[in-house]
Chain A
Amino acid sequence: MTLTPPDDDYNEQADSLAGAAHVVAARIHAGATLWCIAPGLDDHARHLAVEFVHPASVGARAVSAVALLTLPHDDLIDSARYSARAGDVIVSMGDADTQFVSELGERSQAWGVTHLHIGWSAQPRPFTATRFVRIGEDSRAERLLTRAYHLLWELTFICLRQPQSPVASSETESCAVCADEATIGEVEQLLDGDSARVRTAFGPSRVDVSLVPPLKRHDLLLMHAGSALRVLAPAKSIL
C-alpha cells in the first residue's frame, strides 16, 4: 500500500471559505434556514445539515438546516424551489460543472436565496451568480468536501460570536441609467393580457411581459421597472 500526502492547494479555499462563511453567518443571523444538497452524495448533504442542527461543539447554537435528498433532477430543483424562502441559503455540493448547479444559481436569485456551491470544477469559475468554494478539478476532490464544510461551520460560528453582528450587503444590481434595480423573477402564473405573476427576491410581483416571447411557468426573467426584458432561462431548461 502506497500512501502519499495529498497535494491540496488550500490557499484557494481559504479566501472563498472566509467570504462564504461571512455571508452564511449574516443570513443565519437574520433567520435563514440552510438547505443542503449534494446530488448523488446524500451523505454529505446530511452531514452538513447535522453539523448546523446539532453542533458537536458544546454550547454552539443550533441552526435550522435541512438536507434535500437526491431525486431525479427536476424534482430536486422543485424541492429547492418549494422549500427555500427569501433570505435562506442553499448549499450545494459536488460537481460544479452541471446544468443542475448552474440552474440552481440562476433561480436562487429569483427566489431571493443565497446560493453557495462547494465542490470541484475543471474551470476556475464555472458559473456566475453563485458563491463558489472550489476544492479541486474533478471528483477526486470528493474526499475534501467534509473538511470544507467543517471549516464553513467553524468560520460561520466565529462570525456569529463577534461583537458586531454580521450583515450581508445586497446582492442585487442597479441599473446604470436610472439607478432602479434590475431583478430576476421566476414565472409563477400567466395572467390575463400581457402580464404575469412572478416570484422575486422581494416577494410576488406582477410584471408586463409584452416585450418577451410567450412564457411558461418557471421561465426565468430579467425584469426592470415592472417589465420583463428578457427570458434568462426557460422552464425545464435541462431537458
Chain B
Amino acid sequence: MSSFLYPSLTPQQIAGDHDTSEFEAELLLELANTVRGTWSDAVAFDCRSVTANREALNQAAALVVACATSGGRVLVMGNGGSACDAERLVRLLQPAVPARTLLDPAVFSAIANDVGAARVFSRQVETFASSRDVVVVFTTSGTSANVIEAVGAGKRAGASTIAFAGYRGATLATHADVDVCISVDSTSVHRIQEAQGVLCDAFVALVQAGLT
C-alpha cells in the first residue's frame, strides 16, 4: 500500500543497513508515511496556534518585560513533559530575564511527601513570589491541580500570572487568577507541547524585542 503511494522509496533506504522482512518493510513504509502526515499537519497547526494567540503573546511579553525592568523574577513550572518545557523557557529567557523553575528535586519531593502533590508549586510560590514577579505555568490539560494552586498563590502574592494550556485553555482559559492564558486548541498532548514550544519561541522573541 505504502510502496504504491511512495514508489520512490525502498525499504532499504528506510531500514539503512538492516535486513528487513516483507512485514518489516511494509511497517517501515507505514511509519514513514505517519511521520509525513503528522509533521505536515503539526507545522500548519503550530502556525494557526501562533496566529490565534497573537494578542495574548503580546500581553504576556509585556508582563515579563515590565517584570524584568523592575527587578522582578519569572518563576516557571509544570509537570512531566511540561516541566521540561518550563526548563526550556527558562533557558531561552536567561540571561536577559531573571528566570528559574520551581523544580528542584529535593524541594519538590519534600513538599510532595510532607504536604501533598497539589501543593508542590503553590508552597514555593508563596515563599518566593512578590508583586514584581511573574508566575508562568505549563499544562497540557489545562486542569492540573498543582498549577491551578500555583496561579492562585501567585495572585495572592500580587504577582502577574501567565498560563500555557492545552484543551483550549480548559479551566485556566477563564480562571480569575490567570492574567494571560496562551491556549492551544488540541487534545493531543504531543501536539499541544510542540505548539507550546513554538509559542514560547514567539513569546521569547517578543520579550527580547521589548527589552532592547
Q: Which residues of A contact B (CB under 8 A)?
A: 1, 3-6, 8, 10-11, 13-15, 17-19, 21-23, 41-44, 46-47, 50-51, 54, 56-57, 131, 143, 146-147, 150-151, 153-155, 158-159, 162, 164, 166, 168-169, 171
Contact = CB atoms under 8 A, between A and B. Distances in A.
Instruction: Name B's interface SS.
Output: helix
A95 B212 CA distance: 29
Interface string B122-162: 00000000000000000010000000000000000000000
Contacts of A155: 31, 34-35
A222 B64 CA distance: 55
Nearest to A51: B81
A70 B48 CA distance: 35
A15 B80 contact: no
A230 B99 CA distance: 50
Nearest to B15: A19
Interface in B172-212: 189-190, 193-194, 197-198, 201-202, 205-206
A6 B202 CA distance: 12
Nearest to A155: B31
A10 B27 contact: no
B170 interface: no
B116 to A, nearest CB: 19
Contacts of B14: 15, 18-19
B39 A146 contact: no
Given A10-B36, A50-B84, A51-B81, A17 B31 contact: yes
B18 A1 contact: no
A147 B42 CA distance: 9
Contacts of B40: 10
A38 to B, nearest CB: 10
Interface of B: 9, 13-19, 23-24, 27-36, 38-40, 42-44, 46-47, 50-51, 54, 57-58, 80-81, 83-85, 87-88, 91, 140, 189-190, 193-194, 197-198, 201-202, 205-206
B54 A1 contact: yes
B38 A151 contact: yes
Nearest to A132: B16
A159 B140 CA distance: 26
Contacts of B54: 1, 3
Contacts of A153: 190
B93 to A, nearest CB: 13
Contact of B39 (A43, A46, A151): A151
The 4 closest A-B pairs by CB, nearest first: A47-B84, A10-B39, A18-B31, A43-B87
A42 B87 contact: yes
A154 B34 contact: yes
Contact of B35 (A5, A13, A23, A159): A13
A4 B205 CA distance: 14
Contacts of A166: 24
A170 to B, nearest CB: 9
B37 to A, nearest CB: 9
A141 to B, nearest CB: 12
Given A21-B31, A158-B27, 8 more contacts: A1-B54, A1-B58, A1-B205, A4-B47, A10-B40, A13-B35, A131-B16, A147-B39
